[in-house]
Structure 1
Amino acid sequence: MLTHISKDDLFHDYYKQWITIYKEGAIRRVTMSKYLMTHQWLIKLIPDLRLNEMTRITYQQLLNDYALEHERQTTMDFHHQLKGAILDAVDEGYIERDPTRKAIIKGKTPRVKKIKYLNQFELHTLLTQLNLSPQINWHWFILLVAKTGMRFSEALALTPADFDFAHQSLSISKTWDYKMNGGFLPTKNQSSVRKIQLDWQTVIQFSELLRNLPEDQPIFVTPGDKIYNSTINSLLARLCEKSNIPVISIHGLRHTHASLLLFSGVSLASVARRLGHSSMTTTQKTYIHIIHELENQDVDIIMRSLSGLS
């Protein structure tokens, strides 16, 4: 229920009302949860701060306190989630001047994030352990993610109608809401809507598997059943241990897929499109270690080529 806003209101109360009015129903549920988490941090860090007390100093102190427990990028996201509400409060006269002007974004030193992926031999070893039965099971799910690099939620949302066997392609146009109550959701971004080419063996396997299944129903999920990411990751971990290879997650299979493509000489642009990244920059940042390794290989090739000219 909406209440009258005054300069003396607690800032976190104003912010909660602001996200209810402007964000609820207009953004994805996962994004809304981030705004709600920001609200919880406001209650923790500035429980007694009132709207008319929000100055550049108090706002900077809020960012500094938040940054003590978060990396710089996370603090930047926190700042962006607050800024729209604050600028509206300035426009309405609840706050005298824009306190976000010239804000300094700090944060903890990012942890070194080592991406886990398998090499070609390890992936082949893993796939030989799969129990690919005549009916759809989670082993088929693992195989398809390994061969396409799809996101977990994208693979869960697949229906028989998404497969175009004649053109050996798979359409990605939706995700499955496995974190909440199930059902189809839009993709992560517009770039995530894409077609992924399939190899002939996968086409033959799935054309047989999907025969007589309802065209518009998920093939891996029964509507009403709760699916947990951890359940599939546990299955994959057991298969990795049985194969005596490094344990990776389902998301690690996505990294494995991209890594193998890059090492095979597939262009960065093609890998980005296949993964559904919004830009090549995302792909470049994620796989920078592989790109550096490939650059070192290129240097060796260049040097051998030049030495042959003498």
Structure 2
Amino acid sequence: MLNNTNNSPLFYEYYAQWVDVYKKGAIREATMAKYLMTQKWIQKLAPELKVSELTRTAYQQILNDYAKEHERQTTLDFHHQLKGAILDALDEGMIERDPTRKAIIKGKTPRAKKIKYLNQFELHTLIANLDLSEEPNWDWFILLVAKTGMRFSEALAITPSDFDFARQALSISKTWDYKGEGGFLPTKNRSSVRKIQIDWQIVVKFSELIKGLPEDEPIFVGESKIYNSTVNDVLTRHCKQCGISEISIHGLRHTHASLLLFAGVSIASVARRLGHASMTTTQKTYLHIIQELENKDVDLIMRTLSGL
């Protein structure tokens, strides 16, 4: 039997309780933050709406209002987070029908996102400008990210025990919670757990750098809290000194991938090295590079055939 309308809780209050019961402690803090942000948006968009008043029209209006300020993909994520709570409300008999059925997902037109990365000459210039002292510093961190394509949180979590110098390999099995209270966290996805081959220069340099350091403690994490902006500032300063394009630490990951693709490394191999869940992610992220390479392939094909 359906709850009386007068006794029905406000939708945003029900959602807050649902998040607390079903999501708290079961998901990563970064994901939890997204659910809490969704809760704030419901309160903003429909502060008086009760669960019992959740019709298809009412729900669609929430999505439409949210979509006015967000891109379609963000609106779709918003919809998925709400739908989980709403379906549970349906199971509990708080509403009679599923208001999310046949929902229309709208959103602002995505802005053209230009990936910033360095070319091979610029990266070579940057690396030559790094101050690789005897102690670990952010310049060492920049070098490692440039040479491996690791995510920021993955590189922060690297410990001396992750290096296998004999096999020229580096194990990625965890991340560092730099957005929270610190400490190790799982990787972004199962595909992110991987071994990355490292070149002999990294082997020689890092085998000396980590001598005497605690085996299972992060190389680049000290006692103070780490901010992404701190490392980006160091990298920006180097870029300015070198007179090259200014990029972020994440831009070094893009640089790593783009150089491998231009060198002829397969998309599958690049995807595995980056820890992407699928090649589709790699293809979408580096579509402009792949299209440029395809144009070169066409020229190569024509030159080959014309020579027959």
TM-score, normalising length: structure 1: 0.97
| Alignment map for 1:156-195 (pairs within 5 Å) | 156-195=156-195
1:122 corresponds to: 122
CA displacement at 1:6 relative to structure 2: 8.0
The aligned amino acid for 1:266 is V
Q: Which runs of 5+ in 1 are unaligned?
A: none
**Partner SS, residue 147 of structure 2:** helix
CA distance in 1 between partners of 2:101 and 2:7 (Å): 20
Q: For the residues of structure 2 that align with 1:136 and 1:35, how far apart are their CA atoms?
A: 37
Q: Does 2:216 match 1:252?
A: no
Partner of 2:282: 283
> Structure 1 residue 303: deviation in Å?
0.9
State how far apart, in whole Å, the 1-side matches of 2:254 and 2:16 are.
38
| d(CA) in 2 for partners of 1:199, 1:239 | 23
CA positional deviation for 1:283 = 0.3
Counterpart amino acid of 1:98? Answer: D
Q: CA deviation at 1:305?
A: 1.1
Instruction: Give the secondary structure class of the aligned counterpart of 1:128.
Output: helix
1:142 alignment partner AA: I
Residue 160 of structure 1 and its aligned partner are, at CA, apart by 0.3
Q: Give 1:302's aligned residue.
A: 301
In the alignment, which residue of structure 2 is the partner of 1:33? Answer: 33
Does structure 2 conserve the Cα–Cα contact (< 8 Å) formed by 1:157 and 1:218?
A: yes
What is the alpha-carbon root mean square deviation over aligned residues? 1.0
Which amino acid is 1:107 matched to?
Answer: G
After TM superposition, list the pairs within 5 Å mapping 1:1-40 onto structure 2: 8-40=8-40
SS at match of 1:27: coil
2:218 maps to what in 1? Answer: 218
**1:239 aligned onto 2:209:** no
**2:85 aligned with 1:85, yes or no?**
yes
> Over residues 137-170 of structure 1, what are the superposed CA-to-partner deviations in whole Å (9 max), with x where a residue is unaligned?
1101000000000000000011000001111100
**What do the CA deviations read for 1:245-283 (whole angstroms, capped 9, x no partner)?**
000000000000000000000000000000000000000
Q: Deviations over 1:200-251 (max 9, x none)?
A: 11101101111111101111011x3100100110110010011000000000
Displacement over 6 Å in runs of 4+: none
Q: 1:44, CA displacement in angstroms?
A: 0.3
Q: Secondary structure at the match of 2:129?
A: coil
Distance 1:165 1:305 in 2: 42
**Deviation string for 1:121-148 (max 9, x for gaps)?**
0100111100111211110100000000
Percentage identity across aligned positions?
A: 74
- State how far apart, in whole Å, the 2-side matches of 1:130 and 1:259 are: 21
SS of structure 2 residue aligned to 1:255: helix
Aligned counterparts of 1:302 and 1:7: Cα–Cα separation in 2: 71
Deviation digits for residues 93-142 of structure 1 (CA, Å, limit 9, x no counterpart): 11110000000000000000000000000100111100111211110100
Provide the rounded CA distance (Å) in 2 between the counterparts of 1:217 and 1:73. 38
Between stretches 68-77 and 126-135, larger displacement belongs to 126-135
Give the secondary-structure state (helix, strand or coil) at the position aligned to 2:264: coil
8 Å CA contact 1:135–1:209 kept in 2: the answer is yes
Q: Residue 153 of structure 1 aligns with which residue?
A: 153
Contact 1:240 1:246 in 2 (8 A): yes
Number of aligned residues? 304
Distance 2:60 2:47 in 1: 16
